[in-house]
Amino acid sequence: MQYTYSENMKYSPRFYPEKRGGIEKNVPIMLSVSYEKKRMIYYTGKRCNIDQWEKKLQLLKPKQKPINNQTLSDFNSDIERIKIAVNDLFKEYDLKKTIPEPEQLRADLKKKLGKKERIMRGESFFERFEQYTDDVDVCPKRRENIKALMEKVRKFNPSINFNAIDTQFLDDFDKNLLKSMSKNTAICNMKMLKAFYNYANTHFWTTANPFNLYRIEKEVYGDPVYITREERDKIFEVKLNNPSMAYSRDIFIFQCYIGCRFGDLVKMTKSNIVNGNIEYIATKTLKEKSRIISIPLTERALEILGRYDMPDGALLPFVSKHFYNSNLKKIFSEAEINRIVTIPNRRTRKSIQIKICDLASSHMARRVFIGSLFKKGANLATIASMSGHSLNSRAFGRYFQIDNEDKKKAIDLIK
């Protein structure tokens, strides 16, 4: 549809889900505004699956569930709000007899929608990368990882530009990453670099994209490794004379009972205890879904909390993550939790044997929580509601293993 508010200014806005490389799930919804032989592209901040979109109405189809957990009404209202903002802007341009450049229209639209004014930088590769780290809509931890990746690229080649990055550069950069990190972490870094290029293409910073011809390997994970409930209880009961180690032990055991990430745990205060439950919103998925995670507190979890009365209202006497992980390895050894487990080598992916105490970390507590519940037959949907995972996410499946014993128990149900 074409809108006309004066004999001079004509414009045509169109919303559409952007389909690239055959991807049809979780794609960005873009706005294209054509006017006076100009064209402005704007990312709406919304995403959908291709088959959810009603092309004629330029909205989600009836009875569709938005992938960001909004209601259908709220999702479509946000799209309509952008439409109204565009209409209002062109009315203002008509009154001023002004024809804006695409960048000006984009900036005016963001301002009209209440978006924060962003700091505009130059057009070099690293200036655009810095722009991306500021503008991209991700959680704080992911933003830190993106900034770290930018510095890795800068260190690898400080004079690189968009057009100079080809498949050979990507291959060399990937090999360089493997000198200091695991294969899976290197793959995650390459995926973040690809996401930057996709963003740069969407915003017309460059038309080049070497990832169109470059294949990123898939992450490979071994079977989940975590301690048993019996080993957890042994750690809880071990005598520790060092106060710092005792604090770390209590934090770990408490974490085993609520299954949250360490980053979320250290932010918790007594106000997170509601009617005998711990309630919080996971920081990592805050941008995707802001549902409240609620976990009933066990007697042992309450016993641990009862040992401390922190003056600042914190749940426990937290220590730095590095110090915490270092202490955990010592605590596991003190409790004689040192059985041999098999894991893939971080770089070669070949199987190696290692003592489980050498793998002790804050994240193992999360695996203990999820894996123990799974082994006791808890419903997966119930576990996911308490861990903060999406039920069908690949990450969730890495926390438990279906073995032959589980299969036999399942078959026994239909004997």
* Residue ranges of domains in the chain: 3-112, 125-212, 229-412
- Give pLDDT tens digits for 193-223: 999 999 998 888 888 899 999 999 988 776 7
Q: Count Cβ atoms below 10 Å from residue 387 Cβ, excluding itself.
A: 21
Instruction: Look at residue 280 and tell me whether its pLDDT is greater than 80.
Output: yes
- Top pLDDT among 348 and 131 is at 131
Which residue in 163, 156, 151 sits closest to 126, CA to CA? 151
pTM (2 decimals)? 0.56
- Distances, alpha carbon 387 to alpha carbons 19, 34, 397, 400, in Å: 32, 46, 12, 13
Q: Is the pLDDT of residue 397 over 70?
A: no
Count of beta carbons in the 10 Å neighbourhood of residue 186: 23
Residues 48 and 67 sit within 8 Å (Cβ to Cβ): yes
Distances (CA, A) of 62 to 47, 71, 179, 395: 16, 11, 51, 31
**Residue pair 236/256 in contact by the 8 Å Cβ criterion:** no
Residues found in the chain: 415
Higher-confidence residue of 376 and 238: namely 238
Q: Round the average pLDDT of the chain to a whole number and report it.
A: 85
Phi, psi of 377 (to 5 degrees): 85, 15
- 289 versus 294: which is more confidently predicted? 294
Q: 229-412: which CATH number, 1.10.443.10, 3.30.830.10, 1.10.630.10, 3.30.565.10?
A: 1.10.443.10
The larger pLDDT score, comparing residue 388 to residue 310, is at 310
Three-state secondary-structure class, residue 409: helix
Cα distances (angstroms) measured from residue 160 to each of 100, 124, 166, 225: 33, 9, 11, 41
Residue 333 CA to its chain's centroid (Å): 33
Residue at token pair 């978006």? 115
Return the amino acid letter for 69: N
CA 295 to chain centroid, in Å, comes to: 22
**Would you give the DSSP letter of residue 4?**
E
Which position has the higher pLDDT, 225 or 188? Answer: 188
Residue 303: pLDDT over 90: yes
CATH number of 125-212: 1.10.150
Strand, helix or coil for residue 331: helix
Q: Hey, which bits of 261-350 come out as E strands?
A: 273-274, 277-280, 293-296, 340-344
Quote the DSSP letter at residue 8.
S
Share of the chain above pLDDT 90, in %: 48
First-to-last C-alpha distance (Å) of the chain: 63
Binning pLDDT at 50, 70 and 90, where does residue 4 land? very low
Q: What is the pLDDT of residue 5?
A: 41
DSSP category for residue 97: T
Contact status, residue 400 vs residue 224, Cβ threshold 8 Å:
yes
**Residue 50 pLDDT more than 80?**
yes
Lowest mean pLDDT among 153-162, 164-173, 277-286: 277-286
Between 247 and 411, whose confidence is greater?
Answer: 247
